């Protein structure tokens, strides 16, 4: 039975709310042509309420354990909550039950990639692309992941206790050693501050500058990136050792924040904490703010800085660092629990109240420090 028109709309919006740009585009072009069970669960996903969606999908699955769309829904809800292990398992089941289920294959590829399983990621997208050979985005993604995989396979792996570090070897030997030392030290320092010590090894890749920008497609001003893996540009014009330490520490902070709260952390909070944990001198921030022509409200800095030019990004980092400094002072040793609350869906203001901080006081102090009257 075809999906009723109204329900199709719900499914579409759920895709938009939940998935990567690629999966959204894929879903827009082809919806599963079959009966859609558990419409309330899809509606919950649409409302950004994946906890409710997960519980409804799970209930429905007890009645219809062999419905691939329900497993796909359960996988989508788990993914939206940042529970990638559980998402992977649901999506594998969806694909086992229906090997031609392109949307499930696409999301399975995405989740496998985020979990560091490049082989499964590439296999899943290959299959999806075979089923829809005219989909340019699938092709583009597949090409990018294959290139990345071939670059990584030419790298050496440096053993470290909590990390898997890939690097070029040769001339990069010293850099690899230094990065490994910094990572281990900072793992304990940031872990202690956030009361969280990731148990699964974190993946770290040290690239040449060209490979870094080719693979991450980061803005030209960026030298580090965290997207489930810590990626750092170390080749070409080498950063000074202190600058390298700073970048490594910054990206590690993102990785530890992501293990506490994989979703829903606004970019200003994420970036602010990463700058805060860099631990180096932050006197540049007030200076940047004094000279800034515009101060962007924090709520407009929730979605990431990659669209900003270098100057705008500098101001955004300074604003975020100021916010993080105030938060860390006001929330104190509970900053890890505070992040967990935000990751569980509490707004920043509600989470502040949970820790006896008045949101108004936080925002007023931030406005005062960044120079907004």
How near is the Cβ of 88 to Zn ion at its closest, in Å?
A: 26
| Min CB(301)–Zn ion separation in Å | 12
Could you tell me if 26 and 16 are in contact, meaning their C-beta atoms sit under 8 angstroms apart? Answer: no
Nearest to Zn ion of 157, 227 (CB atom): 227
Q: How many residues bind Zn ion (CB under 5 A)?
A: 2
Closest approach, Cβ 275 to Zn ion, in A, equals 8
Structure tokens, 82: 């940042």
Residue 190 makes contact with Zn ion by CB under 5 A: no
Question: What is the rounded CA–CA span in Å between residue 24 and residue 84?
Answer: 18
User: CB-wise, 83 or 246, nearer to Zn ion?
Assistant: 246
Nearest approach in angstroms of CB 342 to Zn ion is: 17
Separation between Cα atoms, residue 30 and residue 135, nearest integer Å: 11
Indicate the residue among 103 and 271 with the shorter CB distance to Zn ion: 271
Q: In what order do the strands lie in the sheet with 156-159?
A: 156-159, 163-167, 202-207, 230-233, 224-226
Q: At what angle do helices 39-46 and 5-18 cross, to 10 degrees?
A: 40
Nearer to Zn ion, 101 or 187 (CB): 187
Q: Quote the least distance from Cβ 270 to Zn ion, whole Å.
A: 7
Nearer to Zn ion, 186 or 271 (CB): 271
Quick one: 32 or 224, whose CB is closer to Zn ion? 224
Sites for Zn ion among residues 63-102 (CB under 5 A): none
Q: Which is nearer to Zn ion, 49 or 271 (CB)?
A: 271
Mention every residue, 6+ apart, whose C-beta is less than 8 A from residue 23: 15, 103, 106, 107, 110
Nearer to Zn ion, 87 or 274 (CB): 274
| Shortest Å distance, C-beta 373 to Zn ion | 29
The CB-of-367 to Zn ion minimum distance in angstroms stands at 23
Residue 252 interacts with Zn ion (CB under 5 A): yes or no: no
Residue 141 binds to Zn ion (criterion: CB under 5 A): no
Binding mask 259-288 for Zn ion (x = CB under 5 A): ------------x--x--------------
Q: Looking up tokens 């696409």, which residue turns up?
A: 106
Per the DSSP assignment, residues forming a β-bridge with 164 are 159, 203
CA distance 243 to 359: 34
CB of 227 to Zn ion, least distance (A): 11
CB of 109 to Zn ion, least distance (A): 25
Judged by CB, which is closer to Zn ion: 274, or 342? 274
**Binding flag, residue 331, Zn ion (CB under 5 A):** no
Name the residue with the smallest CB distance to Zn ion. Answer: 274
Q: Is 222 in the site for Zn ion (CB under 5 A)?
A: no
Task: Give whichever of 161 and 281 is closer to Zn ion, judged by the CB atom.
Answer: 281
Least distance from C-beta 30 to Zn ion, angstroms?
35
Residue 318 binding Zn ion, by CB under 5 A? no
What is the C-alpha to C-alpha distance for residues 56 and 44, in angstroms, rounded to an integer? 9
Contact residues toward Zn ion (CB under 5 A) are 271, 274
């Amino acid at each position: 039975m075809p999906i009723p028109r109204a329900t199709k709309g719900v499914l579409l919006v759920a895709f938009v709310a939940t998935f990567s740009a690629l999966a959204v585009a894929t879903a827009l072009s082809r919806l599963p042509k079959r009966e859609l069970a558990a419409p309330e669960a899809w509606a919950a996903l649409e409302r950004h309420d994946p906890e409710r969606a997960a519980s409804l999908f799970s209930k429905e699955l007890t009645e219809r354990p062999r419905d691939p769309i329900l497993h796909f829904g359960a996988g989508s809800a788990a993914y939206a909550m940042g529970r990638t292990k559980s998402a992977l398992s649901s999506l594998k089941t969806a694909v086992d039950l229906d090997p031609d289920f392109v949307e499930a294959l696409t999301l399975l590829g995405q989740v496998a990639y985020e979990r560091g399983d490049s082989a499964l990621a590439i296999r899943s997208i290959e299959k999806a692309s075979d089923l829809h050979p005219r989909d340019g985005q699938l092709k583009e993604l597949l090409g990018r992941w294959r290139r990345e995989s071939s670059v990584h396979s030419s790298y050496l792996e440096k053993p470290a206790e909590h990390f898997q570090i890939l690097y070029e070897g040769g001339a990069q030997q010293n850099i690899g050693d230094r990065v490994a030392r910094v990572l281990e030290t900072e793992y304990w320092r940031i872990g202690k501050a956030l009361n969280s010590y990731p148990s699964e090894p974190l993946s770290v890749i040290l690239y040449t500058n060209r490979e870094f920008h080719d693979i991450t497609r980061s803005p030209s001003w960026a030298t580090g990136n965290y997207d489930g893996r810590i990626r750092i540009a170390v080749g070409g014009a080498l950063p000074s050792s202190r600058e390298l330490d700073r970048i490594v520490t910054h990206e590690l902070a993102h990785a530890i924040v992501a293990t506490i709260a994989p979703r829903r952390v606004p970019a200003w909070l994420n970036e602010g904490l990463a700058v805060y944990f860099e631990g180096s001198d932050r006197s540049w921030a007030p200076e940047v703010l004094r000279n800034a022509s515009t101060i962007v409200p924090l709520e407009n800095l929730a979605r990431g800085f990659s669209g900003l030019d270098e100057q705008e990004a500098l101001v955004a980092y300074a604003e975020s660092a100021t916010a993080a400094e105030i938060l860390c002072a006001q929330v104190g040793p509970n900053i890890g629990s505070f992040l967990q609350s935000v990751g569980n869906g509490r707004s920043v203001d509600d989470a502040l109240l949970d820790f006896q901080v008045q949101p108004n006081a936080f925002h007023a102090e931030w406005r005062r420090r960044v120079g907004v009257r």
